[in-house]
Amino acid sequence: MSKYKIAVIGYGEVGKIFSIGLLGKPNVTSVSAWDLKFVDPKLSAEQLEHAKKNGINAQLSIDEACADADVVISAVTASNTLDVAVAAAPFLKQGSLFLDLNSASPGTKQEAAAVVDGRGAFYVEAGVMTSVPPYGIKVPILLGGEKSEGLAQILNEWGMDAKSISFKLGIASAIKMSRSIMIKGLEALVVEAYSTARFYGVEDYFLPTLVETFPQIDWSTQGAYFFSRVVQHGKRRSEEMRESARTVSETGAPPLMASAIADKQAWLAQIASLGVFKDLPKNARWQDYSDCLNAHIKSSAK
């Protein structure tokens, strides 16, 4: 029976979840991780302590992380998808599997695959179909590539929810990116529509019209959730939407909506970085987010 050494590239929210979630799974002998934060003097102590506390072997270079790994999992931001594949490729073990979890366009994934496969490893694309929290490693994932079916079987034995849908690269990513336009678009629409309604004091008239049209959705609760996700992860989401825009462009159509969604996500992320929402509790209402946002806009206009 095969034994597996796993390396996770990117020790952010998703990287941490997968590193810890896969440790101790059947036939997994070790889990290593590498992240630029590991060598950042301002961030390394906290990150290295987190890895040590959870039994993850923190590596100080990408070559050390990849050199002996049977499965390498790339879990970085969308804009770094290709860069990480290029950086890791020279150090991948022959016959190892490179699982790309990142939200990137079919074209980007195909470029990354060419680099990885060219080094004698096997690239498998993944489309992560919803937010990793609260699912953890059980988050639904679609896989594509020559080795996707075999890897799906391995991942499912580890308690994951993986499904191979095509030996052709780009299909899983196309599904993921199309979905992202809808979901991240809804987030951007909620931020803009709700804040506008709140500014004019018409939310008590506006929200019932949504309920009337889509009664199955709790628009207040959903609104708070959408606001919170963009405030927390808007920068990462905007990068994903740039890749969604690229996905649209690869069809020959102009990515008018995807580009606008990316801009809106990035705009709110930049405002959040100023600490505008820092005092809000975890269970804040959408009205609380909107009030903070509108107050910031008003003060900035003076």
pLDDT in tens, 146-178: 999 999 999 999 999 999 999 999 999 999 999
pLDDT digits (tens, 9 = 90+) for 209-235: 999 999 999 999 999 999 999 999 999
Domain of residue 289, CATH code: 1.10.1040.10
**Among 116, 262, 110, CA closest to 174:** 110
Share of the chain above pLDDT 70, in %: 100
Shared domain check, 140 and 226: no
- What does the block give as tokens for 134? 């609260």
238 or 131: which leads in pLDDT: 238
224: containing domain:
173-300
Residue 52 has phi, psi (to 5 degrees) of -60, -45
C-alpha span between 27 and 176 (Å, rounded):
30
**pLDDT (mean) for 187-212:** 98
Mean pLDDT of 112-141: 96
- Residue 15 sits in a domain whose CATH number is 3.40.50.720
Closest among 92, 141, 143, 84 to 108, alpha carbons compared: 84
Burial class (CB in 10 A: 0-12, 13-18, 19+), 13: middle
Average pLDDT, the chain: 96
Q: Are residues 180 and 161 in the same domain?
A: no
Question: Is there a single domain that holds both residue 158 and residue 295?
Answer: no
Predicted local confidence at residue 302, as pLDDT? 76
Judge whether 71 and 88 are in contact, CB under 8 Å: no
Question: For 250-269, how does the pLDDT look when each residue is reduced to its tens digit (9 = 90+)?
Answer: 999 999 999 999 999 999 99
Joined together, the tokens standing for residue 100 give 């790309």
Considering the domain architecture, whether residues 161 and 14 belong to the same structural domain is answered as: yes
* Contact of 62 with 11, CB cutoff 8 Å: no
| CA pair distance 212, 209, nearest whole angstrom | 5
Residues 159 and 191 in one domain: no
Q: Specify whether 82 is located in the same domain as 123.
A: yes
Is there a single domain that holds both residue 109 and residue 38?
yes
Count structural domains, the chain. Answer: 2
Beta bridge partners of 33: 8, 58
Q: pLDDT tens digit string along 63-109?
A: 999 999 999 999 999 999 999 999 999 999 999 999 999 999 999 99
In this prediction the pTM is 0.91
Q: Which of 147, 167, 187 is the last residue of a domain?
A: 167
In the predicted model, is pLDDT for residue 1 greater than 70?
Answer: no
Output the DSSP codes for 162-175: EEEEESSTTHHHHH
